[in-house]
Structure 1
Amino acid sequence: MKAILIDDERSALTYLERLLEADGRLTVMGKYTSAQAGLDHLAVERADIVFIDIGMPEMNGLEAAEWIQQLDSHIHIVFVTAYSEYAIEAFELQALDYLLKPVHARRLSKTLDRIAATLADPRSSSLGVAAEQSPKVRCFQKLEILEDGQEAVGAKPFKWRTLKSQELFSFLLHHEGEWVSKEQLLDALWPEYHLDKAVVHLHTSIYQIRKALKERMQDTKLEYNLDRYRLNRNGWITDVELFERGISEWAASGSGGTPRIESLLALYRGNYLEEYDYPWAYAKREKLRSMYLACASELARDELRSGRTRQSVQRLLSLQQREPYSDDICGLLLTAYAQLGDYTAAQKHYESFVRILEDELGIEPQQVTHQLYVQLKTQTLPA
């Protein structure tokens, strides 16, 4: 097992390293006196466990733990602290354990026993894969709470008490575990109300969410601290996060692995929270839509390059239903029809595209699309 140690006191780092070396079950890959230096290490080299002091300047251990889990949710965190009152918050951040200073060899050994048991447990080691395969909540098209990756248990789907409690849950989920101030919530969800009335609506919705979580999602907590709220999700993932993570990894790997990316594209059932008119969701909706179109279009291009033209046509026709005004998709379809030698289909498609743009948007196709069509049309003329 690999570990890194983070503590702003060099003497504490050295002491803990010696205890770990004496135990012999961990390999210390790095020692850092700042949280940022530890995060830089984890960005390029994986570790199984991070031992981190809570009371550090600039970025404390609790804040650093949030960043560590964003980098890799499979990393186990062990807090080292002189203050036992941090223990509760430590476990809320999914710490595997915490050690009180000064650390004693016997107490450290118990912590390492717990770590070894957790890593050896097949249910623990497969948690990340299961989470990726089975999102707990779906946000594409509409908000849905699932059970074990399936539709909500029971004949009736889960329903929120009020539309505002649903929107508040969605808004907190949208912020991915970050603390959100009361003022931000009031401005986003109840901007038309007087402050006193807006606060009443907020507290009512908070109560309804907590009640709903208790009934359906007991692994999730709605936390409050210093006039701020956040969802502590205890490790589960949404379809949106799975989609974003998978697309980013696919792009970084050189856009290979078509079967895997097909499963990721299948998550995109519709635009982000498409069924609700949430102004705060517009920017992310557009970002995710652009990711989907770019990825699906690249797959279509790859199919054209590799001779899988009919497969490319089917993909592009499906994309066109989502994006009927896209010149890029129109151009790819024209190219695909040309590869098949079906210039009649190409002409019909282009003429239909022109009519849609003129009738619904009052515009013409881009010049590059028109030039491509003229070029293809020229190829059909007799010599």
Structure 2
Amino acid sequence: MYTAVILEDEIPALEVLELLVDRHESFTVAATFTNPEEALEQLPGLQPDVIFLDVEMPQMNGLEIARRFRQMSERSHIVFTTGHTHYALKAFDVQALDYIVKPVTPKAIARVYDRLTRQQLSRNAPEQFSSAAAQLPAPARVPTVTGFGRLEVRSADRELIRFPTRKAEELFAYLLCHPNLEADKWKLAELLWPDIDGERALRSLHTAIYRVKRVMEAAGLPMRIMKTAEGYTLDTDAFVYDILHYQHAGQLLTEENPELEQLDLLFGLYKGPLFHGKSYVWKISLEESYRLVYEKLTLRLIGGAVSSGAYEAAEERFYACLLADPLNEELYRQLLALFPAKEQSQRIQRLYTRLLEDHSRQ
């Protein structure tokens, strides 16, 4: 039996989560809190196996609370609950056991139990395995999907998983751009096989779906393709990837004082245009919209760095921007204009020299 503590500032959400956790036969709820300071005060005496923690609370950021929890109780595992996906990568900074996107479901609680059990088995493993386990990186590696720059799917061991056909790869790319939404099967068939009649195109779609599923299984991706009445849905569950982060970036960029950590995360995820090198007709408008998001957050970050006198940091971001979007002349003009006039010539010359040196090494 595992003991759980829940910290959630919204009473209805707390009550639902408490009910779901308590209903699981292997969990018992030791305490619930709506106030972070009260939870931090009582945690040392509770020493729970798992702490369900809301990321966004008015009194204190959930990521900071998690770090303080870690200092007080190394044995307690952190499970984040949130209505947003854009905190997921930051959750790894505190070695979170899981990351649940609301609404919380019994399936998500069962997943937490499975992960706790695996952790417990690892702790109780024979001593000859413990030294090897101690050398594993923390947090544990996870499979990844990237859509900015090259489309890549990699397993937790960083192995590049290849698609058996170009159509299967394009189908996966389309689903990545339309996650958790129903994609109509006839639209997909016409999009991918425009020169084939309806029924034959539909059979080709079924085959491609099967091949995409095999790729996802080979990579160990915790996503599923669900068949619906009219087509298919890519269920991402708690898994996040670069495109999904950018789909939630609009709200962040409209905030007057957004968290710099989140802007940094988005900046680092952009490695180039969407599915660079792929001539998918349907991606044209999406590619432009994501490029504009990248442009806005880049201007905001570099402008903030320059205004605070952090010219070196601003230049590093500028250089990363040159590498990610080398043909965007207008963006270069806007970025360069953020530097004082006396800095511009020196900065651009240094950046040009770095580009030449990096190119010569390739």
TM-score range normalised by the length of the shorter chain: 0.5 to 0.7
Residue identity matched to 2:308: S
Superposition deviation, residue 243 in structure 1: 4.6
Kindly provide the CA deviation profile for residues 308-350 of structure 1, in whole angstroms up to 9, marking residues without a partner as x. 345535544553562545445315425636133849979xx9x
- Greater shift after overlay, 322-331 or 170-179? 322-331
* Residue 144 (structure 1) aligns with: 152
| Alpha-carbon separation, structure 1, partners of 2:253 and 2:142 | 19
Residue identity matched to 1:140: F
The alignment partner of 1:161 has SS state of: coil
* Residue 290 (structure 1) aligns with: 292
CA contact (8 A) 2:226 2:235 kept: yes
Identity of aligned residues (%): 18
| Alpha-carbon separation, structure 1, partners of 2:285 and 2:142 | 26
TM-score normalized by the length of structure 1:
0.54
Pairing partner for 1:186 from 189, 200, 222: 189
CA contact (8 A) 1:181 1:229 kept: yes
The alignment partner of 2:232 has SS state of: strand
Higher relative contact order (CA 8 A, sep 6+): 2
The alignment partner of 2:12 has SS state of: strand
| Alpha-carbon separation, structure 2, partners of 1:230 and 1:294 | 30
Structure 2 residues without counterparts, runs of 5 or longer: 1-5, 24-28, 35-54, 63-81, 87-98, 121-137, 353-362
Superposition deviation, residue 274 in structure 1: 1.7
| Alpha-carbon separation, structure 2, partners of 1:69 and 1:141 | 25
Asked if residue 4 in structure 1 is aligned to residue 12 in structure 2, the reply is: yes
The alignment partner of 1:77 has SS state of: coil
Pairing partner for 2:232 from 211, 229, 232: 229
| Alpha-carbon separation, structure 2, partners of 1:26 and 1:311 | 43
Superposition deviation, residue 135 in structure 1: 6.6
Structure 1 residues without counterparts, runs of 5 or longer: 7-12, 29-41, 49-66, 79-90, 98-113, 350-383
Superposition deviation, residue 291 in structure 1: 1.0
CA contact (8 A) 1:213 1:220 kept: yes
Q: 1:44 to 1:24 in 2, by over 3 A?
A: closer
Kindly provide the CA deviation profile for residues 173-225 of structure 1, in whole angstroms up to 9, marking residues without a partner as x. 22112222211211221222211221121122122223333333363332213
CA contact (8 A) 1:140 1:272 kept: yes
The alignment partner of 1:336 has SS state of: coil
CA contact (8 A) 1:186 1:198 kept: yes
CA contact (8 A) 2:155 2:218 kept: no
Q: 1:306 to 1:165 in 2, by over 3 A?
A: same
Structure whose CA Rg is larger: 1
Residue identity matched to 1:224: K
Q: 1:183 to 1:68 in 2, by over 3 A?
A: farther
Asked if residue 336 in structure 1 is aligned to residue 339 in structure 2, the reply is: yes
TM-score normalized by the length of structure 2:
0.56
| Alpha-carbon separation, structure 1, partners of 2:335 and 2:83 | 41
CA contact (8 A) 1:313 1:333 kept: no
| Alpha-carbon separation, structure 1, partners of 2:347 and 2:104 | 62
* Residue 104 (structure 2) aligns with: 77
1:1-383 → structure 2 map (5 Å cutoff): 1=6, 2=8, 4=12, 73-75=100-102, 77-78=104-105, 94-96=107-109, 136-148=144-156, 151-152=158-159, 157-217=160-220, 219-245=222-248, 248-249=251-252, 252=255, 254-257=257-260, 261-309=263-311, 311-313=313-315, 315-316=317-318, 319-320=321-322, 322=325, 324-327=327-330, 329-334=332-337, 336=339, 338-340=341-343, 342=345
CA RMSD of aligned residues (A): 4.8
CA contact (8 A) 2:148 2:274 kept: yes
Residue identity matched to 2:186: E
Residue identity matched to 2:145: V
